[in-house]
Structure 1
């Protein structure tokens, strides 16, 4: 079963969107982020594009433009909004137009879009302010979609990662046990908050939840390239990070140096019903 959120265990007890330092830490190695992070199922991209009234897409928290490039390849015109200038610089270099801002503070200047998407970023957005901002910029019939990867690394890898992280960051506000503890729906609370935000703002049809299952094989080196891009590790000192990677690498070596990871991409989507929200 896919069990672990791709950003790593979310900090607690505050809402994820309140952890700005973690939210804006992924640009510390933006090139690695773009290289190592996986893309999104083409079926998901096609479903969003087919269910939108036109090609204009706003990508909230676009990062280095991984999802934006997929939407552009599907024929869309994409504008990204990204709070981290380092991530935005990579996205621009790779062809995505980006404006640097949090979504809550971003000024649309009268622009409207056929779809608003958020690829593994909506948990960093206040759910009510985010829904209100989406309502302002979506054309009638426009589609909102937020989506996340959930995955379940082999027990040996998950347990080694959790143990190494506890030693490296004994006082960090992360639930490292979640890396090894089975959970069928780790984003349930985020999906529910997103739904509640849409309901509170109004002007949307009833949100739908979608799910897409897929797999990816990783070598030892490829997985150790992914790990430093996860939220729990993005602000770890270089020597401590090296220790974590060494422990996890040893666990993967014991498995033969590679493994296959089962992913599920979960999404929540809603259509803008009218233009009455201001």
Structure 2
């Protein structure tokens, strides 16, 4: 077992016979850190959403664009990436440090599969720094009080919180807005929060099928409307272009143009909010 800063034990055992959301996502991205149970659930969801791999890749591409914007245009050099997932190409620190080698990144995930691959997240530039914290977003204080956070990031200076494809695992009963507010309250003016969130707004029946498939494998899944996703940005000001489909958020920040089919089939809302 591992524990967070409050001494609460977190699981470190990995069960490959049960589908795991991080490994399913890895499968959709074309990764190799997945097992038959993960691929079976990934294929089951693809029966409802044939473009699910496009959706996952569009979401990943947004992360890179968001980080480039935050470094180059907003002057952010500190990132708190929560719900990191299995490392793959274009991790937050790689994108940030390619623009500013001094960038610092703290990754957070509660899942033992991510802990097992955390070494891949530590490959920092000499000028910058990266750390991984094994902690649970349900308990924000376990993140905010962790010595590796306060030893890596200067919380008196602006920080960007990355919540990319993570809040859908929080039900309304988990009070996701309150969790995000607690994180933002610990950060100064000029900090940012980055959120992508799956939605049923574009295809209600298909997303209902995704929800049922995920929950049949023991994974809680909670798509949200544009309005409900917007509520997660409470206390911040959305930067242009606001809350938009994930593939259409500042596509000029990549060399690859966004195809119309991709924009219409990636059913995530995406946005960046700035704390006044």
Give the Cα–Cα distance (whole angstroms) in 2 for the partners of residues 122 and 57 of structure 1.
17
Give the Cα–Cα distance (whole angstroms) in 1 for the partners of residues 216 and 273 of structure 2.
39
Give the Cα–Cα distance (whole angstroms) in 1 for the partners of residues 115 and 184 of structure 2.
24
1:108 pairs with 2:140: no
Greater length-normalized contact order (CA 8 Å, ≥ 6 residues apart): 1
Which residue in 2 is equivalent to 1:142?
191
Which residue in 1 is equivalent to 2:76?
54
Contact 1:145–1:270 (8 Å) recurs in 2: yes
Which residue in 1 is equivalent to 2:271?
268
Cα distance, 1:268 vs structure 2: 2.9
Which residue in 2 is equivalent to 1:133?
182
Contact 2:230–2:243 (8 Å) recurs in 1: no
Task: Trace 1:102-251 onto structure 2 (pairs within 5 A).
Answer: 102-105=136-139, 106-109=142-145, 110=150, 111=153, 112=155, 113-125=158-170, 126-148=175-197, 187-195=225-233, 198=234, 204-208=235-239, 209-211=242-244, 212-213=247-248, 214-215=258-259
Cα distance, 1:145 vs structure 2: 1.4
Residues 219-261 of structure 1, C-alpha deviation per residue, up to 9 Å, x if partnerless?
A: xxxxxxxxxxxxxxxxxxxxxxxxxxxxxxxxxxxxxxxx998
Residues 194-232 of structure 1, C-alpha deviation per residue, up to 9 Å, x if partnerless?
A: 13xx2xxxxx34335243433499xxxxxxxxxxxxxxx
Contact 1:151–1:262 (8 Å) recurs in 2: no
Match of 1:88 among 115, 119, 123: 115
CA RMSD for the aligned pairs?
A: 4.6
Match of 1:64 among 86, 92, 96: 86
* SS of equivalent residue, structure 1 residue 78: strand
Unaligned segments of structure 2, at least 5 residues = 1-18, 32-55, 123-129, 249-257
Contact 2:189–2:275 (8 Å) recurs in 1: yes
Q: Counting strand residues as a fraction of each chain, which structure ranks higher?
A: 1
Specify the structure having the higher radius of gyration (Cα): 1
Count of residue pairs brought into register by the alignment: 188
Give the Cα–Cα distance (whole angstroms) in 2 for the partners of residues 186 and 118 of structure 1.
15
Contact 1:57–1:78 (8 Å) recurs in 2: yes
Q: 1:51 to 1:264 in 2, by over 3 A?
A: farther
Q: 1:28 to 1:143 in 2, by over 3 A?
A: closer
Unaligned segments of structure 1, at least 5 residues = 1-23, 175-184, 199-203, 218-258, 274-278
Contact 2:87–2:120 (8 Å) recurs in 1: no
Cα distance, 1:191 vs structure 2: 0.9
Give the Cα–Cα distance (whole angstroms) in 1 for the partners of residues 107 and 133 of structure 2.
6
Cα distance, 1:136 vs structure 2: 3.4
Task: Trace 1:32-51 onto structure 2 (pairs within 5 A).
Answer: 32=27, 35-36=30-31, 37-38=56-57, 39-41=60-62, 42-51=64-73
Give the Cα–Cα distance (whole angstroms) in 1 for the partners of residues 80 and 215 of structure 2.
39
Q: 1:49 to 1:134 in 2, by over 3 A?
A: farther
